[in-house]
A = this chain, B = another copy of it.
Amino acid sequence: MSWKGLKNGEKTLLDHVFWASGISRDALAAASSFSKSRANAAVAELLEQGLLEPTGELASTGGRRAETLRLSRSLGVLIGVAVGATGLEVGILSPDLSVLAHHSEPADVRDGPVPVLARIRALMRELLAQCGVLPRQVIAIGIGLPGPVDFDTGQLVNPPLMPQWDAYSIRDDIATDFAAPVFVDNDVNVMALGELWRMQRSLQNFLVVKVGTGIGCGVVCHGQVYRGANGSAGDVGHICVVPDGPRCHCGNLGCVEAMAAGPAIARMATEAAEAGQSPLLARLIAERGPLRLQDVAEASRAGDMAANQVMQRAGAYVGQMLASVVNFFNPSHVFIGGGITRVGPLFLAAVRQSVYHRSLALSTRHLEIQYTPLGERAGLIGAGVLAMQESLRRMEVE
């Protein structure tokens, strides 16, 4: 990409446009703390260089036309990859994060990094071809993975769900096909980044909690993703909710992940079916084999009492964990994502009830708890944000 020789002020403008795509020239000038004439001159230069492009026009205000701006599509494309414990998604995105093409499919991360990343590279090549884009036009690649990531090396560190990936060089693997820089982060950090972008950084302090095969939390603090002293911030899955509960794979008793994540929900629902409390769940087991989170979600949406009780119990445990976190962190919003979002409002209602009951009034006075607005797209969009944000950060200026 031809963006060498930029001045620092111009880089700041590009950053503003990335975080508020479709911003008007006037709003950009105001946000940049430049004078209007200086901002206009810099924007003209960036349009000239092909780094920005007009998106269209805002409604006329007082007779003047306010042109809106986005990062230029001539810069190239981003590749976003969202890997979960049981599935993966690859997408091609424009610099302003429109999804140009994407594909998702089931996958098992326990197969190890070699086959999973080979499949991801094949999908990247296919999707690029589909868009008529060459690999050298890829600006950067962002990848979210369900485990603790050392952000500097882009490697997983003792990931409990996918031990074969420990210290595997994801960058070297991707480099067999692509020269573009690769940025890797934890899946919930990536989701949090996606939501931060969606809201144009208007929220400064919020959480994104993913409930799927595991339970994790992305933390946004002072408007930035917070990774903690060792990169393990947001590792809430092993907060204890039942002191004498069942043993978790981490060795402790009654961790929220052992009580309320996908496998625990499937276990509770199976017990209910075996106890004869739900003909529907029993039939699903007979037809499909062992229950998964999505089966229990389906039964709950169909109004099955036993499935609903399981979902309420799981929601109450997640809420109990969140009550401690909300007292400590006092976020403005908690967004809940991952496979659990398919359950519908019942799970969310149980979480809310538990949090509002156990947290301090001051912490919850304005607290909003809802499903991730980006929904199933949060991981893919977030991976695109990661790729573009880090590329902008590394831009050289004069």
Contact = CB atoms under 8 A, between A and B. Distances in A.
Interface of A: 148, 157-158, 204-205, 217, 219, 221-222, 224, 226-236, 238-240, 243, 250, 252, 320-321, 323-325, 327-332, 357-363, 365-367
Given A205-B228, A221-B226, A358-B240, A330 B366 contact: no
Given A221-B221, A240-B324, A324-B240, A331 B362 contact: no
B362 A229 contact: no
A331 B252 contact: no
Contacts of A331: 228-229
A65 to B, nearest CB: 35
Contacts of A226: 205, 221-222
Contact of A362 (B235, B323, B359): B235
A327 B233 CA distance: 7
Contacts of A219: 328-329
16 contacts: A148-B362, A217-B328, A221-B221, A227-B330, A228-B329, A230-B330, A230-B365, A231-B330, A232-B327, A232-B363, A233-B329, A233-B330, A234-B328, A238-B359, A239-B324, A328-B329
Given A232-B360, A358-B252, A240 B329 contact: no
Contact of A229 (B243, B328, B366): B366
Contacts of A321: 324
Given A221-B221, A235-B330, 16 more contacts: A157-B362, A158-B362, A205-B229, A221-B222, A227-B330, A228-B331, A229-B331, A229-B332, A230-B330, A230-B363, A231-B362, A235-B363, A238-B359, A239-B328, A252-B358, A325-B328
B360 A328 contact: no
B332 A362 contact: no
A62 B239 CA distance: 55
Contacts of A327: 232, 235-236, 238-239
Contact of A228 (B158, B217, B330, B361): B330
Contacts of A224: 222
A217 to B, nearest CB: 7
Nearest to A363: B232
Contact of A243 (B221, B243, B250): B243
A356 to B, nearest CB: 12
